[in-house]
Amino acid sequence: MEIWSAEIRQSVLLTVELAAISTAILLVLATPLAWWLARAKGWWTEIIASVVALPLVLPPTVLGFYLLVLLGPDGPGGWLARLWGARTLAFTFEGLVIGSVVYSMPFVVQPIRNAFAAMGERPLEVAATLRASPLRTFWTVAVPLARPGFLTGAVLGFAHTVGEFGLVLMIGGNIPGHTKVLSVALFDYVETSRWREASMLAGGMVVFAFAVILTMTLVDKRAARAAA
Amino acid sequence: MKLLRSITILAGLLLACASAQAAQTNVAVAANFTDAAKEIAALFKQKTGHEAVLSFGASGQFYTQITQGAPFQVFLSADDSRPKKLVEEGLAVAGSRFTYAIGKLVLWSKSPGLVTGEETLKAASFAKLSICNPAAAPYGLAAVETMKSLNLYDALKPKLVEGATITQAYQFVETGNAEVGFVALSQLTGSEAGSRWVVPQELYNPIRQDAVLLKAGAGNEAAGAFITFLRGSEARAIIERYGYVLDGQS
């Protein structure tokens, strides 16, 4: 009896790939956004922050519905897909990456924003008096100080993408190797009464989630000790 | 205080109405039968006063849920094997099983002229072909059987996208994300839009859709009445209108 079937291996690899790529894109997009949110003053700042945080509250089916329409042949996703001769971004790995980035954005932006806000103006002012350019200040002062925030954001973004389900079910099309990620594979196994595979995947996810939470707690503790 | 009191009175009245009303039954309905079931349930309520509360999903999904104690009293499957298995496992009432409809598979597109027949599948001039999960939904299985009968399954496999239910397979075509899809004829009732090919019966095993009274519904008046109503001429007329073949007529 093969424990680690090709089918399961494929969905695990696909999930890790999706989460890794999404996290990388998320960090690139979230960093300037979090920086701006942490420092901008004005009523619109919190409006933008609320828009970014929407996926925290919205059911994934709301995002799934909008994405299905937006990624489809009559939406912007369809125009984009036409660049390489495809008709739609739904049912593609790229489509899932777009969905994951939207869906996990608040989990990455929030910790980084908090870390930027927590350091206050002082270190940046000191750097400015030492004639560091704003860009240099950002890379050599702000980013290192906000490291725990980046770590938390990256881990949460990765974990949340791994845990994505409703969205993928709605825009994925269940294609092995392209869109059949772990959570959907698990749903499939349960639907078809394949308990053995289902319990393997579910058990693995429990261990993974536990490891994530434990890591987060330890990171937080270390950061708190370093700050003290 | 006044508002609170009127709310209490209103709630009391509503409760009184509910208890005076006839019985209720929870029915698990295979997704392809959605529209017909709604119409039947409405007529059922009108004629008997009983209410059938409908849930829609893939037959395989319901089967798993029923084995885990889901509170359904009647199961309208899209196949005959799952109801049969439920009877064998003691989860459904023996002797209550019957074929309420025989389903028809259709290849469908929103674009007029795209679907002309099996040559559409041979030419495969589309990027995505949507079906429903063949492991959980009988229409998905029938779609795979059709492609295999035509020796096109391996060629078409890279173009397949799967919905969890036949409703999702339909919706993938409806939203334009897939150009063509295998759906149930019942889903296209009342619309001539797009292009379609009703797949000839010899290409796939008949989709015998069986209904069964579940153990949880054995003592429920409304559940038994619904099964009886489903066998009756009024329900059969609705079923036929949705493009199904009735048992014994094929």
Instruction: Give residue B19's pLDDT.
Output: 46
Rg of chain B over all Cα atoms, to the nearest angstrom: 20
pLDDT digits (tens, 9 = 90+) for A139-153: 889 999 999 899 999
Helix H, strand E, coil C: the string for A99-136 is HHHHHHHHHHHHHHHHHHHHCCCHHHHHHHHCCCCHHH
CB nearest A72 (choices: B136, B162, B175): B175
Average pLDDT, integer, range A35-42? 91
Instruction: Give residue B213's pLDDT.
Output: 97
Other Cβ atoms less than 10 A from the Cβ of A103: the count is 26
d(CA B147, CA B129): 11
> Does B162 lie at the interface with A, CB-CB under 8 angstroms?
yes
Residue B214 pLDDT > 70: yes
Residue B29 pLDDT > 90: yes
Residue of B nearest to A174 (CA): B162
> Does B203 lie at the interface with A, CB-CB under 8 angstroms?
no
CATH class of B105-198: alpha beta
Picking from B170, B177, B182 by the largest number of A CB atoms within 10 A of its own CB, the best residue to mutate is B177
Distance from CA of A188 to the nearest CA of B (A): 8
Q: What is the ipTM of this complex?
A: 0.72
Residue A172: both structure tokens together:
């994925």
Sequence-ordered list of residues with C-beta below 8 angstroms from that of A50, at least 6 positions apart, any chain: none
Instruction: Give residue B7's pLDDT.
Output: 59
Residue B248 pLDDT > 80: no
d(CA B54, CA B45): 12
Average pLDDT, integer, range A114-125? 90
Residue A223 pLDDT > 80: no
Residue A56 pLDDT > 70: yes
What band does A190 get if pLDDT is binned at 50, 70 and 90?
A: confident
Asked if A173 and B128 come within 8 Å (Cβ–Cβ), the reply is yes
d(CA B142, CA A97): 32
> Does B157 lie at the interface with A, CB-CB under 8 angstroms?
no
What band does B14 get if pLDDT is binned at 50, 70 and 90?
A: low
Domain A6-227 matching CATH 3.30.70.260: the answer reads no
Residue A228 pLDDT > 70: no
Residue B102 pLDDT > 70: yes
pLDDT digits (tens, 9 = 90+) for A18-29: 999 999 999 999
Stronger pLDDT, A138 or B210, i.e. the higher one? B210
Residue B183: both structure tokens together:
């759906």
Count the residues in chain A: 228
Q: Which region holds residue B24: left if phi is over 0, alpha if psi is between -120 and 50, else beta?
A: beta
Residue B145: both structure tokens together:
């059987």
Residue B16 pLDDT > 80: no
d(CA B75, CA B213): 7
Asked if B164 and A86 come within 8 Å (Cβ–Cβ), the reply is no
Contacts of A174 in chain B (CB under 8 A): 133, 161-164
> Does B174 lie at the interface with A, CB-CB under 8 angstroms?
no
Mean of per-residue pLDDT scores for chain B: 90
Contacts of A187 in chain B (CB under 8 A): 164
> Does B135 lie at the interface with A, CB-CB under 8 angstroms?
yes
Contacts of A191 in chain B (CB under 8 A): 58, 60-61, 64, 133, 135-136, 164
d(CA A223, CA B192): 65
Residue A105: both structure tokens together:
């954005």
Question: How do the domains of chain A map onto residue ranges?
Answer: 6-227
Which pTM was predicted?
A: 0.79
- How big is the CA angle at B229 (ends B224 and B235), to the nearest 5 degrees? 150
Instruction: Give residue A1's pLDDT.
Output: 44
d(CA A134, CA B116): 65
Average pLDDT, integer, range B231-247? 95
Average pLDDT, integer, range B165-187? 94
Residue B221 pLDDT > 60: yes
Q: Which region holds residue B69: left if phi is over 0, alpha if psi is between -120 and 50, else beta?
A: left
Average pLDDT, integer, range B87-92? 95
Instruction: Give residue B20's pLDDT.
Output: 42
Distance from CA of B44 to the nearest CA of A (A): 30
Average pLDDT, integer, range B167-182? 94
Q: Which region holds residue A102: left if phi is over 0, alpha if psi is between -120 and 50, else beta?
A: alpha
Question: How do the domains of chain B map onto residue ranges?
Answer: 2-102+208-241, 105-198
Q: Is B105-198 the same fold as B2-102+208-241?
A: yes
Query: Which helix (H) or strand (E) covers residue A222, if one does?
Result: helix A195-227
Asked if B133 and A169 come within 8 Å (Cβ–Cβ), the reply is no
- Specify the CATH superfamily of domain B2-102+208-241: Periplasmic binding protein-like II (3.40.190.10)
Instruction: Give residue B199's pLDDT.
Output: 97
pLDDT digits (tens, 9 = 90+) for B104-157: 999 999 999 999 999 999 999 999 999 999 988 999 999 999 999 999 999 999
